[in-house]
A and B are shown apart, each in its own frame.
Chain A
Amino acid sequence: MPEDQPMTECTIEGLLPAVKAYHEKGYRLVQISCTKVDENFELSYCFDIDYHMVVLRLVVPAGTKVPSISGIYWGAFIYENENHDFFGVEFTGINIDFKGTLLRTAKKYPFSNISFREVESCQKK
């Protein structure tokens, strides 16, 4: 049976209060991931307590500055730097900001561009 993973959407202003509330309740930060949907970044913040996972969803236009949650969850810097290096999401106030050097990829923001499907003919076969 798949897990029940309730998802809550939040605004950029509501992000830090919502994350702080999870922290105060004793939730563990599981991960932060990003998906590029059209011209928006869809950020998923996952938290877990007693094997129950909840997801906080933030959708922002590309180029928006997103407040870092590393002041609340210290270890969040690894995900925020990763999402910056892969997608170009700009986080403000990261406790350990690598400024684009955590994952040294040959191409800048490799996950931020159009999909392979649109440029490669092999998918048309």
Chain B
Amino acid sequence: MSKEVVIPFGPQHPVLPEPIHLDLVIEDEKVKQAIPSIGYVHRGLETLVEKREYPEYVYLAERICGICSFIHGATYCQGVEAVMNVEVPERALFLRTIWSEYSRLHSHLLWLGLAADGFGFENLFMDAWRLRESILDELEATTGGRVIQGSCKVGGVRRDIDSETLDEMVSRLEGLRGELSDLADVFLNDSSVKGRMKNVGILPAKEAYDYGAVGPTLRGSGVSSDARMIGYAAYGKIHFTPVTEDGCDCYSRCAVRAKEMFASIDIIKEAVQKIPDGPIEVKVTGKPEGEYFSRAEQPRGEVIHYVKGNGTRHLARHRVRTPTLTNIPPLVKMLEGCELADVPVIVLSIDPCIGCAER
């Protein structure tokens, strides 16, 4: 008769760039239950809103995460602007959209590389990260920062991109499309990738929706849900259809990310065609009073920045609900009944960002 044992997974593990701990209750080689615990990198960033005035806090909001930093900053600004009824110039909204999609591109390439590394395909890992460098170069050239961009502010953006540079960016992206296509082809068609990810970490559509999954974790289960469809920033003026896959497994979640890279290129291209001339910021004065749940689609899924002003220069509350936090319950369900050897791939498949989740 088999016996239950508990195997600790993490907080330090070769597939985990950041610390999360799972107690895996194992019977033979099957996981019967996974109990997560976090708290290793909690920084208390939300409480710092009481120490920094709302325009300064953008810098902290951006530092919630080193991968989707721009989108954190932009979503926070969007929340404060909603509370203060600030009308942001349209050009700034388009620039935020362009930088957000560049962030998505480099985040997905980062994840594809980590996934390849996780299942032991080192060349693929290096190729994904090689391509990611060119996206980071564009971010650095246009914002001044590779990791923390610092280009978003309450009321607009700090930097403009001239039309000649925008055209050059599109042209470079078009040049990159072929290389990305070759990369995606390996992820989508290589037998070793399929063998490692197909039918692993099953999350049916209903369970994904009911358990609160977001982003590629939800869309990989065939549910078409993408916060960009709300139409925030300039997304309302851009034709866009969420990428979905209905395999409900790790492979589908990987396929969503691989295909979303091309959707991002299309969005950037259309945004560059439609970006209007005009100012990039408005002067914001006053003290926020009121509350708003600002949301946006990060590479990992929907993020919420709740801001509550109390009529002073300091917000009364800033709360961030990150996609990784809400993808933990679906992860717990995915792990139930899986093989122990599949745990690393399943954990990776939600693209966990623990720094984000713990703030």
Measuring CB to CB, which residues of chain A are less than 8 angstroms from any residue of chain B? 1-3, 5, 28-31, 33-35, 37, 44, 46, 51, 53, 55, 73-79, 82, 85, 96, 98, 101-105, 110-111, 115-117, 120, 122-123
- Going nearest first, the 6 A-B pairs with the smallest beta carbon separation are A75-B329, A2-B82, A104-B39, A75-B212, A31-B321, A103-B39
Known contacts A30-B304, A82-B325; decide if A73 and B210 are in contact (CB<8 Å): yes
Residues in B with CB closer than 8 Å to A120 are 51
Q: Is the CB of A122 within 8 A of B51?
A: yes
Interface residue? B13 (CB, 8 A): no
Q: Is the CB of B46 within 8 A of A78?
A: no
Q: Is the CB of A103 within 8 A of B358?
A: yes
* Contact pick for A35, options B37, B44, B308, CB 8 Å: B308
Alpha-carbon separation in the docked complex, A1 to B230 (Å): 10
Stretch at the interface among B124-132, B133-141, B151-159, B312-320: B312-320
Q: Measured between C-beta atoms, what is the minimum distance from A79 to chain B in Å?
A: 8
Q: Measured between C-beta atoms, what is the minimum distance from B319 to chain A in Å?
A: 4
Q: Is the CB of A53 within 8 A of B329?
A: no
Q: Is the CB of A46 within 8 A of B304?
A: yes
Alpha-carbon separation in the docked complex, A110 to B42 (Å): 11
Chain A binding surface SS class: mixed
Residues in B with CB closer than 8 Å to A85 are 39
Alpha-carbon separation in the docked complex, A42 to B340 (Å): 41
Q: Is the CB of A101 within 8 A of B37?
A: yes
Q: Which of B35, B46, B212, B232 has the most CB of A within 10 A?
A: B212
Q: Is the CB of B210 within 8 A of A31?
A: no
Residues in A with CB closer than 8 Å to B295 are 3, 30, 53
Alpha-carbon separation in the docked complex, A50 to B14 (Å): 39
Alpha-carbon separation in the docked complex, A110 to B358 (Å): 13
Interface residue? B302 (CB, 8 A): yes
Residues in B with CB closer than 8 Å to A103 are 38-39, 42, 358
Alpha-carbon separation in the docked complex, A33 to B46 (Å): 12
Interface residue? B306 (CB, 8 A): yes
Mark contacts of B247-287 with chain A using CB atoms, 8 A cut-off: 1 yes-contact digit, 0 otherwise: 00000000000000000000000000000000000000000
Interface residue? B9 (CB, 8 A): no
Interface residue? B328 (CB, 8 A): yes
* Contact pick for B316, options A35, A51, A79, A82, CB 8 Å: A35
Q: Is the CB of A116 within 8 A of B50?
A: yes
Q: Is the CB of A46 within 8 A of B50?
A: no
Alpha-carbon separation in the docked complex, A8 to B239 (Å): 34
Q: Is the CB of B306 within 8 A of A44?
A: yes
Known contacts A29-B212, A51-B229, A78-B329; decide if A117 and B39 are in contact (CB<8 Å): no
Residues in A with CB closer than 8 Å to B329 are 74-75, 77-78
Residues in B with CB closer than 8 Å to A105 are 39, 42, 44
Alpha-carbon separation in the docked complex, A83 to B269 (Å): 42
Chain A residue with Cβ nearest B321:
A31
Known contacts A73-B210, A78-B328, A111-B46; decide if A33 and B306 are in contact (CB<8 Å): yes
Q: Measured between C-beta atoms, what is the minimum distance from B213 to chain A in Å?
A: 8
Q: Is the CB of B50 within 8 A of A104?
A: no
